[in-house]
Amino acid sequence: METRGRPKNSRNDVFKFVNMNVGDDECWLWTGKVMGRDTRPYFSINGKKWLAYRVVYEVWYQHELQPGEMVRHTCDNRQCCNPKHLELGSHQQNMDDMKARQRHGLPHHVVRHIKRLILKAVPNTVIAERYGVSEGLIRAVKTGKIYSHVELQDGRYSDPLHGELDDVED
């Protein structure tokens, strides 16, 4: 049966759009459609769009995802469809991965530098302009609302009122 002149895809057809001509341990990149600003790979089955790596996981491991389950990448490459790089997990585990692997927000070395400038009493406006972020973000770093888990390498950033750090360079 065809849809708009195109044959319908079966779940197993997903592999037609995966470059598996690399090593077994390499990322198998998606060659089909990507959508949205986040450029995640999508695959259509019977007119419904699915994340391609989800379909790969379900077909390869013969496991239909249940509510609360999601496919996570161990390689952090959203275009990868190598089943060896895909693992089952929860949304919380995926968020923990993002935090641990610094896949969101500012890299930790930038946050450390911002914290050093805060300790040197550099005005929020100056710091924000320097890093292309809002003053609100700088205030949130300063008060510990965000990035409280990121400490200076010497561990001294637990209290913005800790005192001057003459040896900190900007």
- Please say which residue of 100, 117, 151 terminates a domain: 100
Check whether residue 77 and residue 142 sit in a common domain.
no
Q: What is the pTM of this model?
A: 0.59
Pairwise pLDDT comparison (123 vs 148), residue with the higher score = 123
Identify residue 47 by its one-letter amino acid code: G
Check whether residue 148 and residue 110 sit in a common domain.
yes
Check whether residue 78 and residue 159 sit in a common domain.
no
Identify residue 117 by its one-letter amino acid code: L
Check whether residue 7 and residue 89 sit in a common domain.
yes
What's the domain range around 124? Answer: 105-170
- Please say which residue of 68, 100, 132 terminates a domain: 100
Check whether residue 55 and residue 92 sit in a common domain.
yes
Alpha-carbon distance 59 to 73, whole Å?
16
In which residue are the tokens 């409280």 written?
148
Output the pLDDT for position 5.
61
Please give the helix or strand (H or E) that residue 87 lies within, else none.
Answer: strand 86-89
Output the pLDDT for position 163.
39
Check whether residue 12 and residue 67 sit in a common domain.
yes
Check whether residue 118 and residue 152 sit in a common domain.
yes
Residue from 30, 27, 48 nearest 39 by CA: 30
Check whether residue 119 and residue 136 sit in a common domain.
yes
User: What digits encode the pLDDT tens for the residues 40-66?
Assistant: 899 999 889 999 999 999 999 999 999
HEC string for 6-61: EECCCHHHHHHHECCCCCCCCCCEECCCEECCCCEEEEEECCEEEEHHHHHHHHHH
Check whether residue 9 and residue 44 sit in a common domain.
yes
- Please say which residue of 100, 126, 153 terminates a domain: 100
Alpha-carbon distance 76 to 13, whole Å?
24
Task: Give the Å distances, CA to CA, from 169 to 42, 86, 97, 118, 147.
Answer: 46, 41, 31, 12, 20
Check whether residue 140 and residue 79 sit in a common domain.
no
Check whether residue 20 and residue 65 sit in a common domain.
yes
Q: Could you give the number of structural domains in the chain?
A: 2
CATH for 51: 3.90.75
User: What digits encode the pLDDT tens for the residues 65-109?
Assistant: 999 899 999 888 889 999 999 999 998 888 888 777 766 677 778
Check whether residue 74 and residue 119 sit in a common domain.
no
Task: Give the Å distances, CA to CA, from 136 to 23, 109, 113, 132, 158.
Answer: 46, 19, 17, 12, 20
